[in-house]
Amino acid sequence: MSLVGQSVVRVDAASKSDGTLEYTDDLDFEGLYGAVVRSTIAHGNILSITFDETFDFSDFVIVDHRDIEGRNANVMLTDDQPFLAETKVRFIGEPILLLAHRSQRMLKEALKHIDITYEPLTPVLTVQESLDCKTLLYGDDNLFKTIRTEKGEEPDYTALKSLEKHYSTPHQEQLYMETQSMIARYCDGAVRIVGSMQCPFYVESALFALTGKKIEVEQAPTGGGFGGKEDYPSLIAAYVYLLSKKAKQDVKLVYDRAEDISFTTKRHPSALHYKSHFDETGKLHALDIEITLDGGAYVTLTPVVLARAVLHAAGFYDCGYIKVDARAVATNTPPNGAFRGFGAPQVIFGIERHMDDIARCLGISPMEVRERNLPHSRSVSVTGAKIGEYTRLRTLFETTRKASGFDEKEAAGTPYKGIGMALFMHGGGFTGEGETLLASKVWLDLHDNGMVEIRIGSVEMGQGTLTALPQIVADVLALPITMIRYHLPNTAKVADSGPTVASRTVMIVGELLREAANALKEALGRYGSEAEYLDAVRAYLKSGAQSRFQAAYQKPDTVQWDEEHFYGNGYDGYSLGCYVAEVEVDPVDYRVRVSDFYAYNDVGKVVNPMMAEGQVEGGVAQGIGYALYERIAYQDGKLRSSRLSDYSVPLAADLPKLHIAFLNTDEPSKGLGELPMDGPAAAIGNALTHALDTAFDNLTITPEVVEQKCR
């Protein structure tokens, strides 16, 4: 029986549920605790740093930018972000100094005795202020990145109706349950990094810029990431490195929750402008879309978030002419970064709300408008590529529409109750030529006891990599999963299989592992029983042949991309989702309850159905939070909702039981991690618009917003 497709129990479930698995803060530690001294103003020049003379700083290790041996730049897509501010600060919370001490209490005390004075500059706190360019933060226009793409011919507008709408989406905090945590291990002048992270090789390359040396980086069991531990851990790894190097001891830095919520990256807020032209049947003829993202103080991953937003901005609808103008601006707020969905949830909210708005404008059903615009064999996407998924999308749409009883429920028109749909896609892997540039590699090592060891940089952070990837390898080799070894990665010991982001692990890395496993299988020749397998292994290794089997990413012929013109497929494969939300509004306190939810997905072959369901359930919960509960409140550049009592995420009682289905499971596996985050907010926005017959165009839809709409 094939192992792929089985709900194999997670290999790490036992050690996680009995509490014995050791996360970063649980690891043996004998050393100093680190702390970060941060800017208290949003924009300004540092004038002086004074250490209170009455306080004894002699047994503290203190680090500033002058302690950096290499470059003071966290190199991601650009190198504008310093590890430690030198003369200028650009957001409240920007790191300036690092401290370390044996006692955490003394550290707290010491922070009160450091006085930093600033020459304040006008802070740019909103997107509009940034666009006004009265204060320049970046280049000569405050724009981190612009993308413009246009496909097809403009139609004759004379006979067409048009609709122009603004939508917006806010910050969202990843809220992984384990806060950012990192340890530097000091040994004979060398420093090794161990910590909570998604991308050990990103940390390695950031430390390379910092030190000019290759530093060993090891992932510790990681308590959730959701994108929040994609690029941020590079900074905190640099901090423990610098402190450890100077102290010549181990140093640990674990953020407390308020620090984590206040200063680490969040989902980019967006302002979306959709202008559409359509005929009286609802058929789209032109879409003119403007996207503005708030990037925060530094570039970080913003350009690629923007690229993904562009590629998902028109959904997969058939439309003759599509134009997208996208830009990301600089503001004096903490840098925004990766969060599950990575630009897609924002624009899916835009396009899917807009499809319902077109239906409202014409007085027809939102199902009719979607059906009318489903792609066909000749339809092309926003980047001019054929939409090869057109039959899959239609099947998914029709199945979900029927299973959810959408049409009857929509027609019922019960007061304070509504139903809404989102039909959407998510591109798996890096955008454009990203996968080609990553050039991921995997190693499979064959041991003489027959064990096969997966040696890659992909991490487990809760999503199930440690189980799913061995399932794939064991499946090819027809071995029990217990014959496959896969440890959390250490950059000195594994192949760089790329970052654990972008729903790429099963789809891209899994495929490479399958390739390597096939090579291994071929090398061993035929075997039936496990005993025969062991004989084959012994015979093979005895011959002195290579025990390492490798595979490296090669761009499939079907994928074409022209970065300059933003033209081509965009992704190696798309997964599809069709989600239906039913909501009830309480007429007394305006609270919205999601009463029922259908999450139908097409991700090709499902490797582990139970874990896949878990991804959908968790993603939908975050999506419901994004739609209704989670609100980041800034006041003068300072975050007010830095506590969990103010940043409300859904609890068990807030969530409906989901109806989940996976379609088309004979196709190759596509990405799954992010897909379920993309649809819920749009489906809920549409359901509320239906329930109260007034448009809900801006997230977060708090009871206060509903109250306002009910006036």
Partner 1 sequence: MIYHRAEHLDDALNLIHQHPDFLLLCGSTDVAVQLSDQNTVQGLIDIGGLSELRAIEMGSESIHIGALATVTEIMESAAVRTHLPLLIAASEVFASHQIRNLATLGGNIANASPAADLTAVLLVLNATLTLGSKQGRREIALDELFCGYKCTKLDHEMILGITIPLQEHQWYYRKAGARERLNIAKVSLAVVKNSGGYCISGASLNPYALRLRHVEELLNSGDVSDEKISEALAQDIAPSGSFRSTKAYRTRVAFNMVKEAFSSLEAS
Partner 2 sequence: MQIRCTINSRPYRFECEPEERLLDVVRRLGMLSVKKGCGEGECGTCSLFFNGKLVNSCLLLAPQMQGAEIVTLEGLQKETETIRENFAKEGAVQCGFCTPGFVMRAYDYIIHEGSKDEKRVKEALDGNICRCTGYQKIVEAIVKSMS
For partner 2, the binding residues (CB under 8 A) are 7, 9-10, 12-23, 25-26, 105, 174-179, 221-226, 254, 256-257, 461-464, 610-611, 613-614, 616-622, 643-645, 649, 651-653, 655, 657-658
Using the rule CB under 8 A, give the single segment among 273-281, 345-353, 400-408, 587-595 that binds partner 1.
Answer: 587-595
User: 54, 58, 112, 188: which one contacts partner 1 (CB under 8 A)?
Assistant: 112
The alpha-carbon radius of gyration of the chain (Å, integer) is 26
Instruction: Encode 355-404 in three state secondary structure.
Output: HHHHHHHHCCCHHHHHHHCCCCCCCECCCECECCCHHHHHHHHHHHHHHC
Distance, in Å, from the CA atom of 402 to the CA atom of 328, rounded to the nearest integer, reads 39
**Do 583 and 418 touch, CB atoms closer than 8 A?**
yes
Nearest-approach distance from CB 590 to partner 1, in angstroms: 7
Q: Which is nearer to partner 1, 191 or 639 (CB)?
A: 639
CA atoms within 13 A on the CB side of 603: 29
Q: Which is nearer to partner 1, 101 or 631 (CB)?
A: 631
Nearest-approach distance from CB 516 to partner 2, in angstroms: 27
Other beta carbons within 10 Å of 621: 20
- Regarding 629 and contact with partner 1 (CB under 8 A), the answer is yes
Question: What does residue 50 show for φ and ψ, rounded to 5 degrees?
Answer: -120, 130
Nearest-approach distance from CB 500 to partner 2, in angstroms: 13
Say how many Å lie between the first and final Cα of the chain, rounded: 60
Q: Which is nearer to partner 1, 587 or 668 (CB)?
A: 587
* 635 contact, one of partner 1, partner 2, none, CB 5-8 Å limit per kind: partner 1
* 591 contact, one of partner 1, partner 2, none, CB 5-8 Å limit per kind: partner 1
Q: Which is nearer to partner 1, 283 or 593 (CB)?
A: 593
* 542 contact, one of partner 2, partner 1, none, CB 5-8 Å limit per kind: none
- Regarding 635 and contact with partner 1 (CB under 8 A), the answer is yes
Q: In what order do the strands lie in the sheet with 114-120?
A: 88-89, 44-51, 114-120
- Regarding 640 and contact with partner 1 (CB under 8 A), the answer is yes
Nearest-approach distance from CB 45 to partner 1, in angstroms: 29
* Secondary structure (3-state) at 433: coil
Distance, in Å, from the CA atom of 263 to the CA atom of 405, rounded to the nearest integer, reads 44
Taking CA atoms, 240 is separated from 21, 94, 191, 263, 571, in Å, by 23, 16, 9, 17, 36
Q: Which residues within the stretch 653-682 sit at the binding site for partner 1 (CB under 8 A)?
A: 653-654
Number of residues located near partner 1, criterion CB under 8 A: 24
Distance, in Å, from the CA atom of 600 to the CA atom of 422, rounded to the nearest integer, reads 10
* 708 contact, one of partner 2, partner 1, none, CB 5-8 Å limit per kind: partner 1
- Regarding 626 and contact with partner 1 (CB under 8 A), the answer is no
Q: Which is nearer to partner 2, 481 or 655 (CB)?
A: 655
Using the rule CB under 8 A, give the single segment among 161-169, 189-197, 384-392, 632-640 that binds partner 1.
Answer: 632-640
* 461 contact, one of partner 2, partner 1, none, CB 5-8 Å limit per kind: partner 2
- Regarding 704 and contact with partner 1 (CB under 8 A), the answer is yes
Nearest-approach distance from CB 592 to partner 2, in angstroms: 17
Nearest-approach distance from CB 469 to partner 2, in angstroms: 16
- Regarding 703 and contact with partner 1 (CB under 8 A), the answer is yes
> Strand ranges (DSSP E) for 202-320?
217-219, 251-254, 270-278, 284-296
Nearest-approach distance from CB 180 to partner 2, in angstroms: 13
Q: Which residues within the stretch 55-94 sit at the binding site for partner 1 (CB under 8 A)?
A: none
Q: Which of 297, 303, 382, 290 is nearest to 338 (CA)?
A: 303
Q: Between β-strands 321-330 and 284-296, what pairing exists: parallel, antiparallel or unpaired? A: parallel
* 440 contact, one of partner 1, partner 2, none, CB 5-8 Å limit per kind: none
Q: Which is nearer to partner 1, 26 or 654 (CB)?
A: 654
**Do 249 and 31 touch, CB atoms closer than 8 A?**
yes
- Regarding 159 and contact with partner 1 (CB under 8 A), the answer is no
Distance, in Å, from the CA atom of 512 to the CA atom of 519, rounded to the nearest integer, reads 11
Q: Which is nearer to partner 2, 224 or 295 (CB)?
A: 224
Other beta carbons within 10 Å of 710: 12
> Strand ranges (DSSP E) for 152-283?
161-169, 181-187, 190-195, 217-219, 251-254, 270-278
Q: Which of 338, 299, 270 is nearest to 143 (CA)?
A: 299
Q: Which of 368, 416, 453, 373 is nearest to 595 (CA)?
A: 416
Nearest-approach distance from CB 1 to partner 2, in angstroms: 19
Nearest-approach distance from CB 256 to partner 1, in angstroms: 9
User: 187, 412, 552, 633: which one contacts partner 1 (CB under 8 A)?
Assistant: 633
Burial of 708 (0-12, 13-18, 19+ CB in 10 A): exposed
**Do 446 and 420 touch, CB atoms closer than 8 A?**
no
Nearest-approach distance from CB 470 to partner 2, in angstroms: 16
Nearest-approach distance from CB 702 to partner 1, in angstroms: 7
* 176 contact, one of partner 1, partner 2, none, CB 5-8 Å limit per kind: partner 2
Nearest-approach distance from CB 490 to partner 2, in angstroms: 20
Q: Which residues of this chain interact with partner 1, rule CB under 8 A?
A: 112, 587-591, 593, 629, 633, 635, 640-641, 645-646, 648, 650-651, 653-654, 702-704, 707-708
